[in-house]
Copies of this chain bind each other. A is one copy, B any other.
Amino acid sequence: MNLGRIVGMVVATRKEPSVEGLKFQLVRYIDENGKETGAEVVAVDTVGAGPGEVVLVATGSSARQTVLTQNRPCDAVIMAIVDSWDVRGETKYRKTEER
C-alpha cells in the first residue's frame, strides 16, 4: 500500500457497466513526511473517504478484493483512512491535527 491524499474527484458518465456507481477519487501519493511525491492515481473509494483525507491505496489485483470492486476493471482502491503514522518513534502525521 502507499500513502496518499485525496485532492479531487473524477466524473465519468460513459463507462464499463460494472463500474457504475463507484466513486473515483484523485489521489496524490505522499511520502513518510506527508510530502507529495509528484505521482498520482485515480482510486475507487470503499471507505467513505473525503477530500483532503490521508488514505492508504492498494493497487493491482489487490484493488479488487473488496465487495465494491470485485470482478471489476479497477486497479486502485482506497481501503483505509489513515489516523496517524510514526517514523522512528516520532509522530509524523495525526489526522485531527492536520484538518
What is A's interface to B at a CB cutoff of 8 Å?
A: 1-3, 7-16, 18-19, 24, 26, 28, 31-32, 40-43, 46-48, 51, 56, 58-66, 69, 71-77, 79-89, 92
Q: Which among B12, B43, B65, B72 is the interface contact of A72 at CB below 8 angstroms?
A: B65
What is the total number of copies of this protein in its complex?
A: 5
Additional pairs, 4, CB under 8 Å, beyond known A8-B85, A51-B88, A62-B63:
A1-B74, A8-B88, A58-B74, A60-B75
Ranked nearest first, the 10 interchain pairs of A and B with the lowest CB-CB distance are A15-B80, A12-B80, A62-B75, A1-B42, A8-B87, A10-B85, A73-B79, A16-B79, A65-B73, A14-B81
Cβ-defined contact, B1 with A79, below 8 A: no
Q: Which residues of B contact A63 (CB under 8 A)?
A: 62, 73, 75
A84 to B89 Cα, complex, angstroms? 25
